[in-house]
Amino acid sequence: MRLRNIPGADDAILNSEYCIKNPEEQKGHWQDCFDKVQPLHIEIGMGKGRFIMDMAALHPDINYIGIERYSSVLLRALQKVEQNPLPNIKFICMDAADVAGVFAKDEVDRIYLNFSDPWPKDRHAKRRLTSRQFFARYDQILKKDGHLEFKTDNQDLFTFSLEEVPEAGWKLDASTRDLHHDPVLNEGNVMTEYEEKFSSKGKSNLQTDRIEIEKTPDTNGFTPLIPGILFILQLQCNVFPEQLSSVLSERPRSGYRFRISHGYLPLSCSHQHKSFGSCCLHNVHV
């Protein structure tokens, strides 16, 4: 889909106090852009900025940076924040592939990926923001115990993302294929414009999925989780695929979310609960 060019968008970005020009010059010094030194969270592909601005308003004790490639889209975010100023948010107009050149090692505490371009053709797989190539970039900027959260309504992209997590050496913390009906992972969920639009209309075919990941190297050969399965998984210790296969058996109905960790988080599960065609794991000790 071609984006409509908005006359004056580039000039508005250039003159806005909220948009950082020459972001590579801030590498290692992003806290200097804010009034307070606080944890730094970034959203890659923020669109019109609804999600990250709501997060900044809800969490004044966290600094936020929104990254958007297209100036005509970023302009909408700038217009919103200038009407409702926030001291803990900044924007960058840049390609996501350049994040490692803009942020220093361990400079970012959390990364958000919301409804990213699925790049459906196989030859474009490396362009997906959850590809192993992008995980390698995130690994360079995310703190050791940092987290990445990902939401999508594209089942193929979600399955691909689950498979890329272990290949990139990260660990999955939690996941669901039916976010809006999941009482655990939907708690505190802040919606994007797209997500809110379809949810408010009662669109049952909006399959919102979420994954949450924590950064820690994986050296135990953890293999991809079984595609097509709905689960909530908390990892706190070394987990092996044969221990999961016996309990993950049902196909999902809709919706996905995951949390991944790049570290050794125990897999804990005290009971198995099945509902809405899902399989949920909580407090399982291996």
> What tens digit of pLDDT does each residue of 66-115 get?
999 999 999 999 999 999 999 999 999 999 999 999 999 999 999 999 99
- pLDDT of residue 58 exceeding 50, the answer is yes
* Confidence band for 233, pLDDT divided at 50, 70 and 90: very low
Q: What is the pLDDT of residue 111?
A: 98
78, 92 Cβ separation under 8 angstroms = no
* Residue bearing tokens 């115990």: 145
Q: Which H or E run contains 160?
A: helix 155-167
Q: 139 catalytic, yes or no?
A: no
- Confidence band (pLDDT; 50, 70, 90) for 216? low
pLDDT band at 268 (very low <50, low <70, confident <90, very high): very low
Q: Letter for the amino acid at 145? A: D
Q: Which residue has the tokens 């293999």?
A: 223
The fraction of the chain above a pLDDT of 70, given in percent, is 71
CA distances in angstroms from 135 to 40, 98, 104, 109, 167, listed in the order given: 18, 13, 15, 15, 10
Yes or no: say if 118 and 130 are a contact pair by the CB < 8 Å rule: no
Q: What pTM was estimated for this model as a whole?
A: 0.74
Reduced DSSP (H G I as helix, E B as strand, rest coil) percent helix, strand, coil of the chain, to 5? 30, 25, 45
Mean pLDDT calculated for residue range 189-209: 72
Does residue 237 carry a pLDDT above 80? no
Q: Residue 267: pLDDT above 80?
A: no
* Residue 150: φ, ψ to 5°: -135, 130
Cα–Cα distances in Å, from 81 out to 18, 48, 75, 78, 87? 8, 10, 10, 5, 10
- Give residue 264's pLDDT: 34
Of the listed 117, 153, 156, 182, which one is catalytic?
Answer: 117
